[in-house]
């Protein structure tokens, strides 16, 4: 099948986007959000408050479908020179879509339906060991996101159980393209820190499911699984993040799409297998399941 190019790839934390937000009046909490974000969160709480006993993955799909039509906007996390937790439920990119769905689902399961509980969950998911300590503490590479969130017992990496194909790749995109990142341009001393993180990531034993094996293993994928699209782009581990959803007997993508025909949260018309085979840069997936 001839491959075509989808310009969906996310540079590590060109995932996160910049748009106008207002700071929380409580500066000590270091949270940036708008009143509309709280309104959206409360709408979701009202809809799913009675589903605290539902599995996280089931809640994630329902929350993901709630966000259907929400605009895709890149770089929403790049707002302030000081690293702070950014909440933006009005605009989503592929990674913040997955993070928010997971954080909201876990908040509903906790039965503590508050903005504060949600932001605690979001920070724990988004940052290395759940601690905000400058720009390098954000989990920029999605394979590192998987590794750290498995360590925190938030998700389980299903990939090695499904496929024993090694994903051996040198990860160095951020340190070799610092001009692509405002924070690295303004703070060049951070490049060495990022480079050390990249060295650690590159040294891990990672696995992936090749695109030509998707049909064979499709039955092992579940609604609400989070998949990272592996890529042949040099120095980059994962180019896009999606949630998986079964539709008409096959796995499709529920994701914040940057395709020019979408630019919003959608359920894909094509299957996961078709998506991968039609993409020039995609090579397969890593897949995680919430715990």
CATH number reported for the structural domain that contains residue 189 in this entry = 1.10.3670.10
Q: Is the pLDDT reported for residue 8 higher than 70?
A: no
Q: Is the pLDDT reported for residue 247 higher than 80?
A: yes
How far is Cα 77 from Cα 75, in angstroms, rounded to an integer? Answer: 5
Q: Where do we find the tokens 């092992």? A: 220
Give me the pLDDT at residue 11, please: 52
- 105 domain residue, yes or no: yes
- 279 domain residue, yes or no: yes
Q: Is the pLDDT reported for residue 18 higher than 90?
A: no
- 18 domain residue, yes or no: no
- 131 domain residue, yes or no: yes
The strand pairing partners of 255, in sequence order, are 266
Give me the pLDDT at residue 19, please: 34
Phi and psi at residue 226, to the nearest 5°: -105, 130
Q: State which residues form the domain around 162.
A: 27-290
In this structure, the dihedral spanned by the alpha carbons of residues 89, 274, 278 and 145, taken in order and rounded to 10 degrees, is: 40
- pLDDT bin (cut points 50, 70, 90) of residue 80 is confident
Per-residue pLDDT of 24-75, as tens digits, reads 433 335 899 999 999 999 999 999 999 999 999 999 999 999 999 999 999 9
- 5 domain residue, yes or no: no
- 188 domain residue, yes or no: yes
Task: State the chain's mean pLDDT as an integer.
Answer: 91
- 81 domain residue, yes or no: yes
Q: What is the pTM of this model?
A: 0.90
Closest CA to 240 of 291, 187, 281: 281
- pLDDT bin (cut points 50, 70, 90) of residue 120 is very high
- pLDDT bin (cut points 50, 70, 90) of residue 274 is very high
Report the percentage of the chain scoring pLDDT > 90.
86
DSSP 70: P
- The number of distinct structural domains making up the chain is 1
Give me the pLDDT at residue 12, please: 59
- Residue 249 token pair: 């007997």
- pLDDT bin (cut points 50, 70, 90) of residue 146 is very high
- 14 domain residue, yes or no: no
151 by Cβ neighbours in 10 Å (0-12 / 13-18 / 19+) ranks as: exposed
- pLDDT bin (cut points 50, 70, 90) of residue 240 is very high
DSSP 223: T
- pLDDT bin (cut points 50, 70, 90) of residue 1 is very low
Q: Is the pLDDT reported for residue 196 higher than 90?
A: yes
Give me the pLDDT at residue 29, please: 53
Ranking 12-16, 140-144, 249-253 by mean pLDDT, the lowest is 12-16
Q: Is the pLDDT reported for residue 23 higher than 70?
A: no
CB 196 within 8 A of CB 219: no
Give me the pLDDT at residue 79, please: 87
Q: Is the pLDDT reported for residue 77 higher than 50?
A: yes
């Amino acid at each position: 099948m001839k491959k075509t190019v989808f310009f969906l790839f996310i540079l590590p934390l060109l995932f996160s986007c910049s748009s106008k937000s207002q700071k929380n009046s409580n500066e000590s909490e270091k949270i940036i959000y708008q009143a509309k974000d709280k309104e959206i969160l409360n709408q979701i709480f009202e809809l799913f408050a009675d589903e605290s006993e539902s599995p996280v993955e089931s809640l994630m799909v329902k929350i993901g479908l709630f966000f259907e039509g929400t605009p895709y906007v890149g770089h929403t996390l790049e707002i302030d020179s000081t690293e702070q937790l950014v909440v933006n439920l009005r605009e989503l990119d592929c990674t913040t879509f997955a993070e928010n769905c997971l954080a909201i689902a876990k908040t509903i399961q906790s039965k503590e339906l508050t903005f504060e509980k949600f932001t605690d969950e979001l920070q724990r998911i988004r940052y290395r060991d759940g601690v905000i300590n400058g720009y390098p503490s954000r989990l920029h590479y999605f394979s590192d996101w998987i590794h750290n969130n498995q360590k925190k017992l938030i998700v389980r990496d299903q990939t090695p159980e499904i496929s024993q194909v090694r994903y051996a790749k040198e990860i160095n995109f951020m340190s070799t393209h610092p001009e692509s990142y405002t924070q690295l341009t303004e703070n060049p001393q951070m490049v060495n820190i990022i480079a050390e993180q990249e060295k650690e990531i590159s040294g891990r034993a990672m696995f992936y499911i090749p695109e030509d094996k998707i049909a064979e293993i499709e039955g092992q994928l579940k609604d609400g699984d989070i998949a990272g699209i592996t890529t042949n782009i040099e120095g980059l581990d994962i180019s896009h993040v999606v949630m998986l959803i079964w539709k008409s007997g096959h796995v499709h993508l529920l994701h914040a799409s940057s395709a020019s025909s979408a630019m919003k949260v959608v359920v894909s018309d094509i299957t996961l297998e078709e998506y991968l085979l039609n993409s020039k840069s995609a090579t397969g997936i890593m897949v995680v399941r919430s715990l």
